């Protein structure tokens, strides 16, 4: 399914942490044209580069790299503008992010996604509620001004939902922290 949908597409992972795991998996299992892993922390970006080097032989996508990206415009290195210049102005068809919303920098994040997303592109976020930050993001005026957001049903991924139900009785399991939900964003006014 993803292989056909991502064939020839440009993919950006935001806040990929020390591994850029989502982007790395897509680089192993799809025919995307480009995958760029990012994080705001320089140590995380360097570790992403190590992960890419160690797994290079397993990657189907040849144009896979890592870069520092900060959402705030007042940062002096790793800005959205820097990234767009490095990418020669090319935008991304798919932007991925997992557990990005705990910083609560929704205006900055939504502006960055808007600048980086190609026309008709999509943003897919995998996000627990985490103290209500997911809900705050969905209600944020800066997000709503740029994007139509769809919170997928809890059972959108049957295997994740089955694990959620299985762990529900475990006292260590906190759905607000451990149960990811999927959010799909598309630009205002863009079709299906």
- Per-residue pLDDT reduced to its tens digit, 51-102: 999 999 999 999 999 999 998 766 566 788 888 988 998 999 999 999 999 8
Q: What is the per-residue DSSP string for 7-52?
A: TT-EEEEES-TTTTHHHHHHHHH---SEEEEEESSHHHHHHHHHHH
Question: Which residues have C-beta within 8 Å of that of residue 13, sequence separation ≥ 6?
Answer: 20, 22, 23, 35, 36, 37, 38, 95, 96, 97
Per-residue pLDDT, averaged over 105-115, amounts to 94
Per-residue pLDDT, averaged over 171-188, amounts to 96
Q: What is the pLDDT of residue 79?
A: 85
Residue 147 has pLDDT above 80, yes or no: yes
| pTM given for the model | 0.93
Q: What is the pLDDT of residue 78?
A: 75
- Reduced to 3 states, what is the DSSP secondary structure of residue 179? coil
Token couple for 47: 């570790």
What is the Cα–Cα distance from 165 to 11, expressed in whole angstroms?
A: 32
β-partners of residue 10 are 34
Domains in the chain and their CATH numbers? 2-187 (3.40.50.150)
What is the Cα–Cα distance from 115 to 91, expressed in whole angstroms?
A: 8
Nearest partner of 164 among 146, 149, 148, 176, judged by Cα? 176
User: How does 81-95 read in b/e, with b if 16+ C-beta sit within 10 Å?
Assistant: ebbeeebeeebbbbb
What is the Cα–Cα distance from 91 to 88, expressed in whole angstroms?
A: 9
Q: What is the pLDDT of residue 1?
A: 54
């Amino acid at each position: 399914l993803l292989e056909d949908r991502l064939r020839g597409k440009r993919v950006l992972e935001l806040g990929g942490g020390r591994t850029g795991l989502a982007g790395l998996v897509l680089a192993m299992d799809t025919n995307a044209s480009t995958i760029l892993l990012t994080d705001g922390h320089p140590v995380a970006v360097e570790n992403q580069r190590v992960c890419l080097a160690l797994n290079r032989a397993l990657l189907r996508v040849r144009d896979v790299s890592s870069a520092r990206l900060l959402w705030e415009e007042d940062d002096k290195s790793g800005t959205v503008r820097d990234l767009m210049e490095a990418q020669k102005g090319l935008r991304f068809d798919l932007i991925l992010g997992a557990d990005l919303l705990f910083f609560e920098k929704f205006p900055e994040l939504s502006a960055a996604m808007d600048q980086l997303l190609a026309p008709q592109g999509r943003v897919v976020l995998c996000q627990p509620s985490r103290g209500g930050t997911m809900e705050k993001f969905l209600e944020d005026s800066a997000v709503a001004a740029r994007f139509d957001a769809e919170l997928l049903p809890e059972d959108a991924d049957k295997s994740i939902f089955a694990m959620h139900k299985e762990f529900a009785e475990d006292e260590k399991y906190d759905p607000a922290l451990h149960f990811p939900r999927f959010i799909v964003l598309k630009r205002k006014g863009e079709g299906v």
